[in-house]
Amino acid sequence: MNVMKLPLMALLLIVQASCEIAPPDPEARQADAGYDEGLSDVPPPFEPEVDEPPAPEEPTPISAIEGMKPIDLSVLNTGEPVAGGEFNKFFPEQNAPYDIVFKQEKEGFALVSLQQDGEEIAQLSITDLRSNALAAEKFKSAMAHLDGYPLTNSGSKGTVLLVGNRYQVQVRSANDSLDENQRKEWLKKFNLQGLEKLDS
């Protein structure tokens, strides 16, 4: 090899290395409006649409249920319950083939037995809730009414009304003898309007 050519060859290598163009930075190329490697045809990353969960339904306020009397249990905080004997005149009247048999009277409570052919088919009762204010709490979630009075169930056999924000009127079946609709019919036989005015 010619020794004189070595510096020339080294010079050529240096020139060649200096002329190589470094690949452009991808971000810089994307910033260049004229650059396009087909990226404009590539769809954006898939982002599935997520439905917003429905807002929880607010319970219907008692006063908003059409036809229902508003509930205000503050009347239970003061005063004494009435004597049970005061309730007797508000129970359904005797009407064949049924018998009304008075069973119990005590302060704030009266109970009668509804009988047919000598067999008890239901118990009817009136309670002044001043003697048991906690029992009135169930009426706050009542979603039905009977003649405007808040109506709910008490277990599987009882149907109850709140009268005058104070008196609980109940019909409780004996041995499934009355269904819910029949219990409602018996509730209608009470003198509810008269009871509402008692000790008012």
Rg of the Cα trace of the chain? 42
Q: What is the pLDDT of residues 87-98, one digit of tens each?
A: 999 999 998 899
- H/E run at residue 25: none
In one-letter notation, the amino acid at residue 15 is: V
Contact status, residue 173 vs residue 157, Cβ threshold 8 Å: yes
Q: For residue 113, what pLDDT is reported?
A: 97
Q: For residue 65, what pLDDT is reported?
A: 80
Q: Rounded to 5 degrees, what are φ and ψ at 98?
A: -100, 150
Question: Which residues, given as ranges, of the chain have pLDDT below 50?
Answer: 1-3, 31-40, 62-63
Contact status, residue 86 vs residue 194, Cβ threshold 8 Å: no
pTM above 0.75, yes or no: no
CA torsion, ordered 182, 68, 197, 174, to nearest 10 deg: 20
Taking the C-alpha atoms of residue 149 and residue 146, their distance in angstroms, rounded to an integer, is 5
Q: For residue 199, what pLDDT is reported?
A: 84
Ordered by start, the domain boundaries in the chain are 62-196
